[in-house]
């Protein structure tokens, strides 16, 4: 079997290509560490601003303990043609009331499930990116995507 030949990546279009993958995958995977054991689970971001991603969580979930012990996380997005976007960053607890209320008003599922933005079970993390990488299917080569300023 011959190796597929990936389409070349126009590095000038990296931000555009990366955002296309981000917009196409509504359930990326979030990786965190549980001591020395990696953990991976699908998440549903509640807001995205550039490559900064906000993820809601319930206080009782184990990832709360994992992220408190080690806030370094990675998100992996995959589109239908298997192009990949990886966002490596730090998960920061969102405490800004205005941001929480905006996220709350933008997400009917949160409102239906939790009833109130003041529900003590609700936690929202902002994942601040420090590295964004894009890979076209079969390319087997990541390209660093410039972080937006």
Q: Is the dihedral of CA 111, 112, 113, 119 positive or negative?
A: positive
Mean per-residue pLDDT, 67-80: 97
- 90 inside domain: yes
Residues found in the chain:
149
- 137 inside domain: yes
- 110 inside domain: yes
| Predicted confidence (pLDDT) at residue 122 exceeds the cutoff of 60 | yes
Mean per-residue pLDDT, 27-37: 97
- 21 inside domain: no
Mean per-residue pLDDT, 131-147: 91
Beta-carbon contacts of 139 under 8 Å, excluding residues fewer than 6 positions away, are 6, 9
Beta-carbon contacts of 59 under 8 Å, excluding residues fewer than 6 positions away, are 120, 121, 122, 123
| Predicted confidence (pLDDT) at residue 149 exceeds the cutoff of 60 | no
* Amino acid 52: pLDDT: 98
- 13 inside domain: no
- 115 inside domain: yes
Chain-wide mean pLDDT for the chain?
Answer: 94
CATH code at 53? 2.30.110.10
* Amino acid 114: pLDDT: 94
Q: How many domains does the chain have?
A: 1
Beta-carbon contacts of 10 under 8 Å, excluding residues fewer than 6 positions away, are none
Which residue's structure tokens are 């981000």? 22
Report residue 132 as tokens. 């964004």
| Predicted confidence (pLDDT) at residue 54 exceeds the cutoff of 90 | yes
- 74 inside domain: yes
Domain that holds residue 90: 27-144
| Predicted confidence (pLDDT) at residue 133 exceeds the cutoff of 70 | yes
Q: What percent of the chain has pLDDT over 90?
A: 87
């Amino acid at each position: 079997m011959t190796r597929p030949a990936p389409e070349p990546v126009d590095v000038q279009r990296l931000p555009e290509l990366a955002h296309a993958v981000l917009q196409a995958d509504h359930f990326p995977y979030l990786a965190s560490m549980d001591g020395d054991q990696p953990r991976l689970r699908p998440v549903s971001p509640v807001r995205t601003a550039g490559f900064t991603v906000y993820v809601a969580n319930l206080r009782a979930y184990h990832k709360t303990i994992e992220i408190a012990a080690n806030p370094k996380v990675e998100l992996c997005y995959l589109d239908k043609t298997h192009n990949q976007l990886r966002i490596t960053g730090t998960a920061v607890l969102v405490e800004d009331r205005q941001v929480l209320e905006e996220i709350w008003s933008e997400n009917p599922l949160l409102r239906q499930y939790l009833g109130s933005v003041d529900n003590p079970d609700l936690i929202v993390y902002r994942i601040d990116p420090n590295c964004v990488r894009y890979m076209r299917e079969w390319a087997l080569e990541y390209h660093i995507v410039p972080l937006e300023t």
